[in-house]
Amino acid sequence: MTTSTAEQLSAVSLYERLGASAGIRRIVDGMVDAHLQNPVIRARFQPYIDDPEHVEEIKQHICTFFAVHTGGPGTYGGRSMTQTHRGMNIDAAEYMAAIDDTLATMEGLGHDQETRNEVLAILYPLKSEILHV
């Protein structure tokens, strides 16, 4: 009895398909770089450029968040999405720009549409915890 490619992929966690810790870090690094270039959200991130320690802390939180939510090891001990974004008054265009940057980064790294859709399915439901809080 043979297993199909779809069955084989479903046996591998999203975390593993993203490249585990190193792969997630590549996504996060690319995503943050994309945010700094994106005119819709660039201003949100530019104040951190002169504070590389803070940027690294943010990246590490994002990496841990991705790992935990994609079937990887560990627990996320950072602030909730609402706590993190409270007072920022993020609008829908900014929210979608951040998601688009993430998905475009993943595509550039060679992640297929199915994998990107799985990440989108994790990120999109966070909308109510991020917009206008």
Range of the domain at 56: 15-130
Asked whether residue 88 is domain-assigned, the answer is: yes
34: its two tokens: 């994309």
The pair of structure tokens assigned to 118 is 């799985």
Dump pLDDT digits (tens) for 65-91. Answer: 999 999 999 888 888 899 989 999 999
Q: What is the pLDDT of residue 7?
A: 55
The pLDDT of residue 79: 87
Work out the pLDDT band at 32, boundaries 50, 70, 90: very high
Instruction: Kindly state whether residue 2 falls inside one of the protein's structural domains.
Output: no
Q: In the structure, what pLDDT confidence band is assigned to residue 56 with cuts at 50, 70 and 90?
A: very high
Q: What is the pLDDT of residue 96?
A: 97
Q: Give percent of the chain above pLDDT 70.
A: 92
Count CB-CB contacts under 10 A for residue 25.
Answer: 18
Number of domains composing the chain: 1
Q: Dump pLDDT digits (tens) for 85-119.
A: 999 999 999 999 999 999 999 999 999 999 999 99
* CATH classification at residue 37: 1.10.490.10
